[in-house]
Amino acid sequence: MSFQNILIQDKDRIQYIIINRESKLNALNQATLAELHTALTQAFSNNNVGGIIITGAGTKAFVAGADISEFAGKDVDSGRRIAYDGQSNVFDVIAGGNKPVIAAVNGFALGGGLELAMACHIRIASDNAKMGLPEVTLGLIPGYGGTQRLTQLVGRGKALEMIMTADMVTAADALALGLVNHVVTQDELLPKAEELLNKILTRAPLALAAAIRAVNDAHADGANGFDTEIEEFARCFGTKDFKEGVSAFLEKRKPEFKGK
């Protein structure tokens, strides 16, 4: 499928989804969000794709925020729809995806951009990255899951400080806070993301998906993460990957997982 605002690049079992609005600092307009929904759902259902790296075109910005011009003139109902559609069609799709998703954060990740990165399962930042949620400077709050995911990652006090001051944090600060997993130079950003994802892709695909579901339920309303873990653990016993993993361990060889 041809996209106008994103680029899709496949490298072995890794699929890159690149926000390609460099002149707009890769801001997320509604058309880009719609394309992201399509690209993500296709990637999660494509057996040739093992995992996804999301990044932004150029070196200045991962995503510098939502396209604020689209918010002008909107009323309460419109605002509710914007947040609901964004969360359910893109950000929750990433977080609940059945394959690992890594954000390679190059430059600014602000507002919706930081929310996009936080929806991913792992975040790697270049050392020039700056992150923040500046929505209160516009009379708004984060609407794409930012209040919830930032709190989960850095704790309530720091999340409230970042949201209420609208201050940006550096890559080094983000690493210290647990907001990102790794910080590397700009030249090392994509190689590091590929290295980490390729390592993950040597593991059992069904077990990876089960781990994502179990970890997500640690924070899901009405869910008991411990119960989810028990159920997902049990289901693994019914997979061919489990049998292959145990056989490979006992035979002292590398397993060959098939995702079955």
Question: 97-142 pLDDT, tens per residue?
Answer: 999 999 999 999 999 999 999 999 999 999 999 999 999 999 999 9
- pLDDT surpasses 90 at 231: yes
pLDDT, position 259: 87
**What is the CA 47 to chain-centroid distance, rounded?**
20
Chain segment 150-200, per-residue pLDDT in tens: 999 999 999 999 999 999 999 999 999 999 999 999 999 999 999 999 999
Q: Kindly list the distances between the CA atom of residue 162 and the CA atoms of 63, 114, 143, 147, 214, in Å, as whole numbers in the listed order.
A: 18, 12, 15, 10, 28
Rounded to two decimals, the pTM is: 0.96
- pLDDT surpasses 80 at 1: no
pLDDT, position 67: 85
List b or e across 3-28, with b for residues whose CB sees 16 or more CB atoms inside 10 angstroms.
Answer: bebbebeeeeebbbbbbbbeebbbbb
Q: Kindly list the distances between the CA atom of residue 216 and the CA atoms of 18, 28, 37, 224, 232, in Å, as whole numbers in the listed order.
A: 25, 25, 20, 10, 12
Q: What is the mean pLDDT of residues 2-8?
A: 95
**Selected catalytic residue, list 22, 35, 115, 229:** 115
pLDDT, position 185: 97
**What is the CA 61 to chain-centroid distance, rounded?**
16
- pLDDT surpasses 80 at 203: yes
Query: Phi/psi class of residue 222: alpha, beta or left (left: φ > 0; alpha: ψ in -120 to 50)?
Result: left
**Selected catalytic residue, list 135, 229, 232, 251:** 135
Query: Which residue bears the tokens 């998906």?
Result: 209
Structure tokens at 28: 């997320």
Query: Phi/psi class of residue 205: alpha, beta or left (left: φ > 0; alpha: ψ in -120 to 50)?
Result: alpha
CB atoms within 10 A of CB 32: 24
Q: What is the mean pLDDT of residues 2-25?
A: 96
The answer to whether 115 is a known catalytic residue is: yes
CB atoms within 10 A of CB 179: 25
- pLDDT surpasses 80 at 233: yes
pLDDT, position 2: 85
pLDDT, position 204: 97
The answer to whether 22 is a known catalytic residue is: no
**What whole-number distance in Å separates Cα of residue 58 and Cα of residue 69?**
22
